[in-house]
Amino acid sequence: MRLAAVAAAVALAAAPTSAALAPAPARIQVSAKEFFFSLSRHKVAAGPAIVELVNFGEDPHDLRLERVGGGRVWKTPLVYPGAYYDLDAKLVPGRYRLWCSVANHRKLGMQALLTVVKRGTG
């Protein structure tokens, strides 16, 4: 997956200027451990985003992402200790809830909030 991303980035860099005008995806890293989520940032600009779940814990975890007020729920598969998963999402302005859907992990504290602002206002 990482190799494919690098290949895509190289292809983009070599593409004509029109492709270069597409916004670069925002990146948010979510560190998972028993039992909390730690976000690399709490505010990003709207548009394409790569939300990376990294499991620093001892149990498998996953990531669910949903805009407050409803809508699509973005999901990662189960991520095992020491592994990571890059979720490609497209975010519109608003507040988003992130949580782990494994067992009762959300209740135990594996949840967080992310604010998405209009591009150019963050």
Interface residues with Cu ion (CB under 5 A) are 61, 100, 102, 105, 110
Nearer to Cu ion, 50 or 64 (CB): 64
Q: What's the rounded Cα separation, in Å, for the pair 6 and 71?
A: 30
Question: For 20, phi and psi rounded to 5 degrees?
Answer: -70, -15
Closest approach of Cβ 26 to Cu ion, in Å? 24
| 39 vs 102, beta carbon nearer Cu ion | 102
CB of 79 to Cu ion, least distance (A): 9
Instruction: Look up residue 23 and give its DSSP letter.
Output: P
- For the bound state, the minimum distance from the C-beta of residue 91 to Cu ion, rounded and expressed in Å, comes to 22
CB atoms near residue 81 (< 10 Å): 13
Residue 79 is given by DSSP the state B
Our CB check for Cu ion shows the closer of 102 and 117 to be: 102
